[in-house]
Amino acid sequence: MGNPVPQRLKPLLESVRPLVERFDAAGFRLYLVGGVVRDAVLGRPLFQDLDFTTDARPEDTLGLVEGWADSVWTQGQRFGTIGFQKDGHRYEVTTHRGEAYRPESRKPAVTFASAVEEDLARRDFTVNAMALSLGVGGGVTAHLIDPFGGVDDLAAHRLRTPLAPEESFSDDPLRMLRAARFIAGYDLVPTPELVAAARALRGRLEIVSAERIGDELDKLLVVERPAKGLWFLVETGLADEFLPELPALGLEQDPVHRHKDVLAHTIAVVERTEPDRILRLAALFHDIGKPKTRSFGPEGVSFHHHEVVGARMTEERMRALRYSVDDIVAVRRLVELHLRFHGYSEEWTDSAVRRYARDAGPLLGRLNALTRADCTTRNKAKARMLAERMDALEQRIDELRAKEELDAIRPDLDGRQVMEHLGIPPGPLVGEALRHLLEVRLEEGPLGYDEATRRLDEWWASRS
């Protein structure tokens, strides 16, 4: 059955003892699979949500947990999965299966299997094709089942598929993108066969839904060091299938008008940011407008208005990948504003600082973090100068925030007060008045009620 698992797993195994006992009493075997097994081998923190596989059919599993679990969900039953919650923990139990996508279909054709080894053979990578066979007898017993050498591959930092990579990637083409996440997140090196299969089968991504692709991209971006995974996507051509703007940043270097490698710069910026999903997406997209705006002049290469063009391209790509409206608005805004800081100097008025903070709104912290990460120059003096300027701007923002409601800049009067003071009904005139008062507020800071009404009277008189 394999070697006993580490002692530190015993509390986790004891917590699932009632579940194991129910399956054992019914004559079924239960196996712990997925990331918890891999991370147990690596000594990483363990998952709270657990995945199991079993020789029980879905209807048998449902019968064993209904009435015992606190809640049960059966949306995945036709694929063999029964989910449930017990004592605050979420579990999923899936019947051993082998599955393969039909060439023209986005839906897996599921077949059930009786042996755990067959189930493991259909998993994505050898490092995930391990299981703990669970039993009872004086407590929960567990033995590692590792038919494809996952432990050895973790030790060797090697990424392989249990079956031939062509077969594994045909079963579920999303695995090619998942490979990028494991390369980056677990510091694994893909075998030449895996790389060749990804290059050859990249077109199979067309049968994978945009939502699944976007979700996998997010998972890659929030690993601590995603660079190796991003390079894998570019070098295999996978990025061309769902994010062609990324490889397009590999602009041909002009020997006369020397400029940075925009692709290498972009991947470096992603790595320099904190693993915040929205911030990392903005870092990934921040320069995608450069290829369309590149021009050469007497002073070298330039990318005028690439932030405006890039913001529009960002929205188009994120819509294609089915991101939420909130995500698109936030990332587009960060791309659009990422150059704003570079005009900053001590000569900026308080009004300019207010506008910078107002335009960024709740994204201010992320915008400043993106701006800092965007400085990848090897010129230490220039890097220090840019860092000092950002420090100075953030200090001025903090000072204004202490004196004013900088995080919620609004006119000194609200719409009701404007209507009462001017004696006008709701309508476009109220909006015009509020926009005028907001401009005054941004230029001069808080006015107070009396001064605000005086300025409102001046505006109204001039308008009349």
Q: Distance (Å, rounded) from C-alpha 53 to C-alpha 37?
A: 13
Question: What average pLDDT does this structure show over 392-418?
Answer: 78
Query: pTM for the complete prediction?
Result: 0.81
| Lowest-confidence region among 32-46, 247-261, 423-437, 446-460 | 247-261
Q: Is 182 within 8 Å of 127 (Cβ atoms)?
A: yes
Q: Distance (Å, rounded) from C-alpha 52 to C-alpha 95?
A: 9
In the block, which residue shows the tokens 């808080």? Answer: 446
Q: pLDDT digits over 293-315, tens only?
A: 887 767 676 677 798 999 999 99
In the block, which residue shows the tokens 């083409």? Answer: 173
Statement: residue 258 has pLDDT above 60: no
The pLDDT assigned to 102 comes to 59
Residue 365: enclosing H or E segment and its boundaries? helix 364-373
Q: Distance (Å, rounded) from C-alpha 403 to C-alpha 54?
A: 63
- Give the tokens for residue 45: 């923190």
Fill in the DSSP letter of residue 141.
E
Q: Which of 4-13, 85-94, 106-115 has the highest mean pLDDT?
A: 85-94
Question: What average pLDDT does this structure show over 24-32?
Answer: 95
The pLDDT assigned to 411 comes to 81
Q: Distance (Å, rounded) from C-alpha 55 to C-alpha 119?
A: 10
Q: What is the mean pLDDT of the chain?
A: 88
Q: What single-letter amino acid sits at 407?
A: D
Statement: residue 256 has pLDDT above 60: no
- Give the tokens for residue 29: 């075997």
| Lowest-confidence region among 73-77, 252-256, 260-264, 451-455 | 252-256
Q: Is 426 within 8 Å of 419 (Cβ atoms)?
A: yes
Q: Distance (Å, rounded) from C-alpha 119 to C-alpha 193?
A: 22
Q: Distance (Å, rounded) from C-alpha 338 to C-alpha 327?
A: 16
- Give the tokens for residue 218: 């997010």
End-to-end CA distance of the chain: 90
How, if at all, do strands 294-297 and 300-303 pair? antiparallel
Question: What average pLDDT does this structure show over 100-104?
Answer: 58
Q: Name the maximum alpha-carbon separation found in the chain.
A: 90
The pLDDT assigned to 455 comes to 86
Among 374, 411, 369, 410, CA closest to 393: 369
pLDDT tier for residue 408 given thresholds of 50, 70 and 90: low
The pLDDT assigned to 254 comes to 46
Q: What single-letter amino acid sits at 454?
A: R
Q: Distance (Å, rounded) from C-alpha 463 to C-alpha 438?
A: 17
Among 262, 280, 263, CA closest to 271: 280
In the block, which residue shows the tokens 């587009």? Answer: 332
Burial (Cβ within 10 Å: 0-12, 13-18, ≥19) of residue 378: exposed
The pLDDT assigned to 431 comes to 86
Q: pLDDT digits over 314-352, tens only?
A: 999 999 999 999 999 999 999 999 988 877 777 788 888
Q: Distance (Å, rounded) from C-alpha 28 to C-alpha 409?
A: 63
Q: pLDDT digits over 271-290, tens only?
A: 999 999 999 999 999 999 99
**CA atoms lying within 13 Å on the CB side of residue 11:** 4
Fill in the DSSP letter of residue 4.
B
Three-state DSSP class for 412? coil
